[in-house]
Amino acid sequence: MRSWPFAKGHGTHNDFVLVVDRHGLLDPTDDDVRWLCDRRAGVGGDGLLRAIKAEHIAGWDGDPSLWFMDYRNADGSVAEMCGNGVRVFARMLLEDGLADGPEVPVATRAGLRPVTLTNGGYRVAMGPVTVEPDAVEVTVGGEGSAHRWRAAAVDVGNPHAVVVLDDGPETPSLTSLDLRPAPRWEPAERFPDGVNVELVEVVDERHLRMRVHERGSGETMSCGTGTVAVAAAQAATLGATEGTWRVDVPGGTVTVELADGRAWLTGPAEIVARGEVLLPG
């Protein structure tokens, strides 16, 4: 058995197992990640956040002394970025004395993502966002309950397909849609490594409500990069280049600011448990 210190945290109920691995000695396998994230056999979470010094990450060409957020989805697959996870990651670093505030620079596979502690929570500089309207066709639901829509392709350092539901009489409600099966998209080659799919209800121009199916994790209570993606898609529809959007997710509410093709995400981050976990094998 292997014993690892861990923390458990969440951002708008998007939850994570966190481990500190300064020198890259733990080297979690896909099976380790799946076991840790298992809600019955392990700790439980939508993903694993491993804190490792950037000097140990192949391909990172920035400051080697930074903390790198090695993010794995619950199925063990590697992801570029996680907007909720990076806030929780920064909070853990601050609580553990591994970083000084109010700004915490975090290295990720999508680039540097500074996190700033504010009165309103944790504000993340999410970097550039690009939107390609009507890029793919997304099918949601299983056989007998499938619905098909055009979706915008949005890049937030990781890929998203955003469906904005209209208010027509034939359109199902946001809450009624079945996100248990993974959505499908055409053309398939548009997202060869998978995609996060967001379904959006417009409350008003600057207030959105969404659900999400995350690649490698299934439906989650929130997706930070997804909230940025839906705000950017709505901004493109409105022809707006900047502004602030409220985005409600099943796990809470975040704020997305857009300006000059870049985004900032503000929301809560909580550490709820700490302990030692005994990994099998």
Amino acid found at 125:
A
For residue 224, say whether it is annotated as part of any ligand binding site. yes
For residue 119, say whether it is annotated as part of any ligand binding site. no
Helix extents (H) in the chain = 30-37, 83-95, 224-238
CB neighbour list of residue 236: distance below 8 Å, 6 or more residues apart: 131, 133, 152
pLDDT digits (tens, 9 = 90+) for 3-36: 999 999 999 999 999 999 999 999 899 999 999 9
Q: Which is the catalytic residue, given 18, 36, 57, 82?
A: 82
Instruction: Give yes or no: residues 69 and 147 share one domain.
Output: no
Is 82 considered catalytic here?
yes
| Whole-number pLDDT of residue 102 | 95
Instruction: Give yes or no: residues 40 and 9 share one domain.
Output: yes
Torsion of CA 241, 238, 211, 217, to 10 degrees: -40
Expressed as residue numbers, the domain containing 195 is: 130-260
For residue 214, say whether it is annotated as part of any ligand binding site. yes
Instruction: Give yes or no: residues 143 and 249 share one domain.
Output: yes
Give the CATH number for residue 193: 3.10.310.10
pLDDT digits (tens, 9 = 90+) for 81-116: 999 999 999 999 999 999 998 999 999 999 999 999
Instruction: Give yes or no: residues 82 and 177 share one domain.
Output: no
pLDDT at 168 > cutoff 80 = no
Q: At what angle do helices 224-238 and 83-95 cross, to 10 degrees?
A: 130
Q: What pTM, to 2 d.p., does this model score?
A: 0.95
pLDDT at 217 > cutoff 80 = yes
Instruction: Give yes or no: residues 39 and 140 share one domain.
Output: no
Cβ atoms of 258 and 245 closer than 8 Å: yes
Our count of domains for the chain comes to 2
For residue 220, say whether it is annotated as part of any ligand binding site. no
Angle 84-221-114 from CA coordinates, rounded to 5°:
5
For residue 83, say whether it is annotated as part of any ligand binding site. yes
Q: Which is the catalytic residue, given 88, 156, 223, 256?
A: 223
CA dist list (Å): 147 to 196, 215, 219: 17, 19, 17
Indicate the pairing of strand 184-186 with strand 218-220: unpaired
Handedness of CA 200, 201, 204, 208 (dihedral sign): negative
Is 37 considered catalytic here?
no
Torsion of CA 17, 20, 21, 27, to 10 degrees: -10
